[in-house]
Structure 1
Amino acid sequence: MRPLLSRYLPYPAFVGLYLLFDWATYIDPMYGLNITPWNPDPALGLVFWLIHGRKAALPWFIALVAGEVLVRGMPAGLPLTLLCSAWLVLGYGGIGAVLRRSFSSSDIFDNRRRLSAWVLIVLLGTTLNALGYISLLSLTGRIPAGEWGTAVWRFGIGDTVGMLVSMPLIWVLFSERGRARLHAAVWRWETLAYLALASFVLWSLFGSIVRSEYKHFYFLFLPVIWAASRQGLHGAMLAVFVLQLCIITLVKWTHAVDIQFYELQLLDAVLALVGFFIGIVVDEMRQVADELKHTLR
């Protein structure tokens, strides 16, 4: 019984967690559809695909259909919902297949070259996926005439930012070795300090973010650079993910859906990439220093 549970339990657990992510980030939807400013659930799906391969396709399809029914009330109708969910599974699965073929089980975020390759695959994959998904909705009349480009832009940004910000931390948490390295890197009092600084800066800025037009967003680089320079990539992962959660929480709490949210998301994606590359460089320098010390001994 125990081997059966360990073999099949991850699939319903994935569906449940995917629905939780979908519900939590269903903010300011475009025409009531699955077109939102931030979609971290595909990042969870990609990690699941990297672990299980094509076996992840069916639970991912079930999770997408369940999200349309339970979270959005199936605004596109059953036939189109099934068709669009199948398209998304094929598109996301294609990204997962390319990532699985390009990287081994543990080296996606090990150096700058691999990190750059991951970013490029995600950008190209989400762009193609958005073009197909929005075209299906547009051809069936769910997207008004003249809004196709806006919908592609919004959906593509939501998926891209969700994957770039969320996937590294989710990937680390799904790995026993990754969890150990994350614990060793960030289990310090200093972590609370830069997370508190990040939350305070974001809260301070958010009250005037509509009027300031994000002119003071650069203050958020302070906690991210602090985390990346002191704790490497794992610190940067944690800092940018917490910042994104704070942004989503503030948007829900203040109902600030009238701001140009996609601009804020683009800035957050740039913030994440800067933090990741600084963290990678710090990790590489520490590895070289450790190897040099070992050689000298």
Structure 2
Amino acid sequence: MILTSILGFILIVFSFILKAGNPSFFKLVNPLKYIGILIVLLGVISSLFVQVSAGNVGVKSLFGEVQPTILESGLHIVNPLMDVTSFDIQTQNYTMSALNEEGAKTGDDAIRVLSADGLEVVIDLTVLYRVLPTDAPIIYKKLGVNYSDKIVRPVTRTRIRDNAVFYDAVALYSSKREEFQTRIYTSIEKDFKSRGLILEQLLIRNINLPNSVKTTIESKINAEQEAQKMTFVLQKEKQEAERKRVEAQGIADYQRIISSGLTDKQLQYESIQAQLELAKSQNSKVIIMGGKNTPFIISDK
């Protein structure tokens, strides 16, 4: 906008130079002068209007002096000499990762910390944050627009290193991971707030342990799984033994009841009934022999 006004002013000055220097260019003087005036007016008018995009606020500065008030999203009329810088107030993320092209910086940008037992632990992390709109002028005045590299990155890395020393490497990897994340969230949130930033979420994406520690953990996990498997097998065998004991006891009880309840008369009756059923077969003949009326059944098959 200012450049447009300057260009128009140059055309006006040039028209007067032509008029004074060479009368043969007199026909060009007025058109150049009018064009210059028109350009100046367009530059001034356009400088009066500033549009702030959705999800942003405008920070005003006049000759280097930052104004304390902000411009909300929308169209505004301002001093033509006022400079307006747009600030993003939506949620932003800053990732520090060991993988190339995944983090905010190219290459290995993971956070390396020392645990309480002196082991190096590598942490991949994502920070979700946003700018507090009312503090945008202060941030612009003290930090400029590159606040992510000046505040988000160094504060996050420092607080993680400060808090990691209270935990063993294995605890960070397993049982104390959630506690560690809560602890560093509280610490970083406080630092961000004092600088006009709001910490929304802190995501520990990955925790990498030294290879020696990984091997120890894997061995321990395998041993625990084998122990659980053996416990299951023993329980199954115990249940099977109990089943067999109950089954044997049932058979013994059945035999005891049968042996105590049957008489000779009842056995003879049951025998006769069975023989009668056999005698009904079309392929059999019944021959009675012996002194105790015991029949022998001879089949024709």
Tell me which interval the TM-score lies in, with the shorter structure as reference length: under 0.3
Q: Relative to total residues, which structure has the larger strand share, 1 or 2?
A: 2
TM-score, normalised via structure 1 length = 0.28
Q: Which has the higher contact order (CA 8 A, sep 6+)?
A: 1
Bigger fraction of residues in helix: 1
Report the structure number with the largest CA radius of gyration: 2
